[in-house]
Amino acid sequence: MKFVAFERTLQGTGASRRLRNASKVPGIVYGAGEPAMIELDHNALFFALKKEAFHSSILEMELKGKTEQVLLRDYQMHAFRPIVMHVDFQRIDASTRITKKVPLHFVNEENSPAVKTDKCLVNHVVTDLLIQCLAAQLPEFIEVDLSNLQKGQSLHVDDVKLPAGSKIVTHGKKNPVIVSVSVQAAEEEAAAAPVVVAAPAAAPNKGKKDEKQNKK
């Protein structure tokens, strides 16, 4: 994805406020040289932030007629209004080793035996993974094929096929679950429902009937 940034000469709270009033967003680009103060068109940035690729892929930033490769590193939103307050980018090149969250795309869930045959529910425990790789090898997303998912089965981090040279960062957790399968509630309730045995009908009271006949 490509976007256009402009050099920002004025700094400080007052200057940033004037930029926002003019529908601009103050930002910074750091790494591989001196930090650069930039400004971007607010609406263009706001809609770009709604796209998954803007968060997880290498971006081409045009600044002063020169194109640089950058990654989105951070952005701040207004507390309750749909306004981007600030944005941070990092310069990268093909040899830069980065750590970045990459979204997971789950495919073929509806064709798995767990869903198609056993009518189970598939739970996406996580929707992205933190990976380390060279910037040139950063995937836009990681595809997870669920076509062989079975009832009672779980998929773990070790089951994910990564691009060459990539490594998942789990912060000490050993092979965490990314997908689990559970039986639907209606099926569970039916299996757990107690069996009700009908009580035998009460026998007629013959004693009282004989007593009435004797009185006659």
- Res 172 pLDDT > 90: no
Distance between first and last Cα of the chain: 105
The answer on 63 and 21 residing in a single domain is: yes
How many Å separate Cα 40 from the centre of its chain?
27
Q: What is the pLDDT of residue 9?
A: 81
Domain C-terminal end among 92, 127, 153: 92
Tell me if 112 sits within 8 A of 181, measured CB to CB.
no
Is there a single domain that holds both residue 65 and residue 131? Answer: no
Q: Which two tokens stand for residue 117?
A: 């045959």
pLDDT (average), residues 204-210: 55
Q: According to the model, what pLDDT value does residue 213 have? A: 54
Q: What is the mean pLDDT of residues 34-43?
A: 91
The 10 Å CB-count burial string (b at 16+, else e) for 26-46 is bbbbebeeeebbbbbbbeebb
Tell me: pLDDT of 207 over 60: no
**Are 88 and 125 within one domain?**
no
Does residue 88 sit in the same domain as residue 111?
no
- Whether residue 107 has pLDDT greater than 80: yes
In-domain check, residue 207? no
Residue 149 lies in a domain: yes
Given pLDDT bands bounded at 50, 70 and 90, which one contains residue 173? confident
C-beta of residue 113 within 8 angstroms of C-beta of residue 122? no
Residues 119, 157: contact at Cβ < 8 Å? no
> For the residues 160-182, what does the mean pLDDT come to?
89
Whether residue 109 is predicted with pLDDT greater than 80 in this model: the reply is yes
Residue 131 counted as domain residue: yes
In a domain, 110, yes or no: yes
Total residue count of the chain as it appears in this document: 216
What is the domain-level CATH number for residue 19? 2.40.240.10
* Helix, coil or strand: residue 196: coil
Q: Is the pLDDT of residue 65 over 80?
A: yes
CATH number of the domain bearing residue 162: 2.170.120.20
Instruction: Tell me whether residue 215 is in a domain.
Output: no
pTM for the whole thing?
Answer: 0.73
**Of 76, 92, 108, at which residue does a domain stop?**
92
The token duo for 190 is 């039916």
Q: Is residue 176 part of a domain?
A: yes
Q: Are residues 71 and 105 in the same domain?
A: no
Largest CA distance in the chain: 121
Count of domains observed in the chain: 2
